[in-house]
Structure formats: C-alpha cells, structure tokens
Structure 1
Amino acid sequence: MDKDGTDKRLAELKAERQRLGSELDLARNEAREALIDGKRPSNSAAALAERIFIVDDAIAELSNRLGAAAESAERNNRKRRAEAALDATSKRTKLAASVDEALVALASNWNAYAEALRKDVGQVSGAGGDLTAVERALTNNRSAEPLVKALIAAGGVSFARSLGIDTPIRERHATPLTDAEGRVAESLRAELLRIKASSPQPNVSREAKAELNQMETNL
C-alpha cells in the first residue's frame, strides 16, 4: 500500500474508531440498564470493546508504517543531497588541483623570471633599454607591480583582490608580462635604430631614421 492508500485507510479507521466509541458508550448504558432491570446484558459492549482494541492496534500499526516511510524518505533525501554534494565537491577538487598546479607553476616561473631580470637589468640598461615596465618586479618591500598588472590583465581586479592584493591599478592599466617585456624589447630595437641612424653610411642612416620615425609615430 502506497502512502496515499495508507493515509486513506488510516482516516477510515479513525472514523470507525470514533463510531465504535459512540456505539460502545451506548452499549454500556444498555448493559447497565439491563442489569438494573434484572435482565441479562448482551455481549455487545464486550464485542465492541474487542473491535475497538483491534482498530486501535491497526491505527497504531499504520501510523508506525507512515512514520517509518517518512523516515525512509528523509534518509533517501539526505542520501541524495549528500551524494550530489559529494559529486559537486569532486568536481571542485579537480578544479582546485588545477589551481594548485597553476599557483606552483606561477611561483616557480615568477621566481625564475625575477632572478633572470635581476641578472639582466645591468646589461639591458647599459645597452640603452628602458626597463620602466618591468623594473618594479625587483622590489622587496611592496608588491611587484608588473606581476600585479599581469594578474589583473589575466583575471581582473576582483581576481587580484581574492589574492589579498589591494591596488589602485584598474583593468585599463593592466598589462600582461609579455607586453611589458615587449616594451623593453621595443626600447632596445629603438636604440639599435638610433645607432644605425648615426651611421656614416647614408643609406643605412636614412633607412634607420625612417624606421625610427615610423616607430615613434606608432607609439
């Protein structure tokens, strides 16, 4: 019997119990009057009492079944919720592993980059390169601005803030690290053109000056 059928039958039994209770009261009154009149009372009251006992037992059993069914349904619901949450957690764990790997790679690559920059800064600046876009990567007392700009360029200000970085830099000022290095390379190419422009060879000098003018126009 399903829940709807059990509910219906339970309601019927409760209605019958109420009816039997009224009939029992009446039968007991009749039995009392029979005894008063010196007559033998009928067995109606006893039969009704037995019937009520059976009905009460049936009501209790159906109520227990409903309670057990409700508990089973609740357990099943809890099981489904837990399984769904576990599945979602499993998917997040895979993403978390990717984040961990990316952070390890970021830390390793950034340290290698900063060390390479530290070694090269003298050579690049001595050759006339402009290190403005990357030189603040070497600071020890505050956040490395090129890295912060690269983080914002990659994921926006909200991403940087999720890493605990509070910065006035906004997306429009953010720059990928490759672009920052591109500016350094561009400054060195400009220096090479300036060197060629000072060449005593007219053709070399003229061509270099033209390229230099074009480069400055594009800036």
Structure 2
Amino acid sequence: MYRHKWESDVNMALPVGKAVCVGRNYVAHAKELNNPVPKAPLLFIKPSSALCDFGPETAINLSLGEHHYEAELVLLVGEKIDRSCTVPLNRIAGVGLGLDLTLRALQAELKQKGHPWETAKAFDASGCITPFIPVNKEMLESGLTYQFWQNDTLKQRGDSAHMIFNMAKLLTDIAKFFTLYPGDIVMTGTPEGVGALSIDDDLKLQLGQGNVYRSKVVKQSS
C-alpha cells in the first residue's frame, strides 16, 4: 500500500489523501496534443487508490490499453488549504515528482464524446510518486526544475517558471473548489514530450540536481 515518504525513505505521519491534478499547464504540451491553451487551471482528481510508489518497478495493466507517461512536479500539502488561505505556499510540506499515467486512446475517445476522463486518468496505480523533500515558500518561489528519461533518452524537462499558472495561483484556484487537507497532493501539470511506455523500459526522474529515481516498466500480474 502506498505511503508518503521522505527522501530518507522514512514514512511520514501524513495520511494519503486525494491527488488534485492540473491539465495543460505548459503551453508546449497543450500544443503537442492539439489542445487549446486554458484560460484557467483545468483540474481533475485521482483518488488515493491511484497512487503508488515510483519504485524499482512500474507495473502497467496492458488490458487497459497503451499507457502514456506525463512527468510532473508534485506538491505535498502539510496544512489545510481552503478559500480563506492567503499564502498557500506556506502550507506545502514537501515537493517530489510523479508520473501521471494516461490511457491516451481512451482519453481521446471520452473527450470526443464529451464524457468525463476519470477512467483514462484515475485508474489504479496511475499516479507513480517519488519520495518528497521538505520545502518552504522561498524554495518554491525560487523555481524548480526536473527531468524524465526513458531508456536513457531525455524525454521531458520541466521548469516551474514555464507553468501557465504558477504554484501559488494553482493552489488558490484549487481551493475555490476543493479544500486541500494534510496528505493531499497536487500534480502540477506536464511539459511537452509525453509518449507511450513499453514493457522493460528503464525510467528515471530527477528533481533539480538531486537524487535520480529509477524504475523499470513491467507487466502487471493478474
């Protein structure tokens, strides 16, 4: 069962809550999928059952269809953030990375029919999360970068400075609709370079110049 962890590999006291996810938060990613650039954050939710460790193995259920990776910066909520909160960045306890796994063909079909996307975005083990590092408002405001490799080829490079909606704006807008509780996470959107996963792919994620997290794609056992 997934538990939030610090980079020291120690489980933390915070519970595991929901993941509020942000779609199309980088202009180039919106354009690569032929989507309009949003005027306000595009939000959806993954339940706690969607979260798993970005660990030695990333298991995918091939019966659901082709899985696409979307590497993202992930914020861990340490204190309640609601509509009355004026400085939400002060309530973020940690930052990490994650893969928002997406069933792209199913998502396209659902969008074409005008249906919700949840089955393409919020299925079990669709949110693969690295350990977190402690963070404060000043660190978040100074900007964060990250990288994702597939089979030693750099596929995505993210920079919070390039977000359409910065982290403070995201948290404020999210809190208008969804109160964020300790242990909730926010997946802040993916840059350009998304693509399909294959069995035996070697994956790597790195936040700034910090630790490199590695995983191998395997077939989920029945």
Tell me the TM-score normalized by structure 1.
Answer: 0.20
Which protein is richer in helix relative to its size? 1
Whose radius of gyration is greater, 1 or 2?
1
Which protein is richer in strand relative to its size? 2
Tell me the TM-score normalized by structure 2.
Answer: 0.20
Relative contact order (C-alpha < 8 Å, sep 6+): which is higher?
2
